[in-house]
Amino acid sequence: MMNKIRNALKGQGQKGFTLVELVVVMAILVLLAALAVPKFTSVLANARADANDTNLKMLQEAVDLYISSENVAEADIDNFDDLIVKEYLKDKPDPPAGYTEYTVNDGLVGGGQAESP
């Protein structure tokens, strides 16, 4: 029995892989891909949602700081241009893919909603 195993390991008379071995390896790779792809897409979706939430909080904090520092009425803020000019914001962030544009109305930041497919 051991001689057969040794001969098989030495590769006497056998070069390359059999079709069955290749099919088994391919099946294992497909199984791993089937498990990994949904996990990867959910990680991307969570990252986009977290980035959107962070952008909304940062924009609202910049608006609140602008209102309190410049003694501006909340109703006077209807875009981000004044915040950028006065350097409360470096630039208006773009929303992650699949989310609507950020808006500001009466001192409240809005937008950033997930777009329906």
Structure tokens given for 1: 């029995």
Query: 96-115: b or e for each residue (b if 16 or more CB lie within 10 Å)?
Result: beebeebebeebebebbeee
What is the Cα–Cα distance from 40 to 44, expressed in whole angstroms?
6
Decide if pLDDT at 31 tops 60: yes
Q: Phi, psi (5° rounding) for residue 102?
A: -85, 140
Decide if pLDDT at 1 tops 90: no
Q: What is the mean predicted confidence (pLDDT) over 97-112? A: 93
Residue 40 CB contacts under 8 Å (≥ 6 apart), including other chains: none
Q: What is the mean predicted confidence (pLDDT) over 73-95? A: 91
pLDDT for 8: 67
What is the Cα–Cα distance from 34 to 40, expressed in whole angstroms?
11
- Among residues 94, 97, 5, 11, which one has the least CA distance to residue 55? 94
pTM of the full structure: 0.68
Give the percent of the chain with pLDDT over 70. Answer: 90
pLDDT for 13: 58
- Among residues 47, 57, 43, 42, which one has the least CA distance to residue 96? 47
Domain boundaries, the chain: 39-117
> What pairs with residue 111 in β-bridges?
102
- Give the pLDDT confidence of 2-22 residue by residue, as tens digits: 677 766 666 555 577 889 999
